[in-house]
């Protein structure tokens, strides 16, 4: 019976990266800096911009990133979705005053504005 293979390439493919607040903060800043929304949706140029963001993030040693362009794009979509949902909940709530936006929320607002300007 052969021993299971433990090559480094299979470990890299099977390992999962967990997004921490620090990871997300760096991701938001990088997306705002690169702004992939200046190019046409679905184009090779936009794909290369997401690839550039992923490559930049993977160069970090603290915190360690293990991402590709798809995971970066998908996670930005998740962050934007959660932020929009929070904003809608705050609008619907009565009798409360929302807290001042934090830096991460401001960056997400900028990303949403970039997305919406691309769609217009």
**Based on the number of CB atoms within 10 Å of its own CB, is 87 exposed (0-12), middle (13-18) or buried (19 or more)?**
middle
pTM of this prediction? 0.80
**Model pLDDT, residue 92:** 85
Q: For 15-67, what is each residue's pLDDT tens digit? A: 778 999 999 999 999 999 999 999 999 999 999 999 999 999 999 988 999 99
Phi/psi region, residue 20 (left: phi>0; alpha: psi -120 to 50; beta: rest), is beta
DSSP 24-36: HHHHHHHHHHH-G
């Amino acid at each position: 019976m052969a021993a299971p293979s433990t090559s480094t390439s299979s470990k890299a493919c099977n390992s999962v990266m967990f997004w921490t607040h620090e990871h997300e903060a760096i991701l938001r800043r990088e997306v705002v800096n690169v702004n992939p929304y200046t190019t046409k949706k679905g184009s090779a140029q936009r794909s290369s911009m997401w690839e550039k963001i992923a490559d930049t993030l993977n160069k970090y040693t603290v915190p360690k990133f293990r991402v590709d362009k798809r995971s970066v794009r998908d996670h930005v979509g998740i962050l934007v979705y959660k932020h929009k949902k929070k904003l809608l909940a705050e609008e619907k709530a009565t009798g409360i005053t929302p807290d001042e936006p934090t830096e991460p929320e401001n960056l997400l607002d900028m990303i949403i504005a970039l997305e919406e300007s691309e769609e217009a």
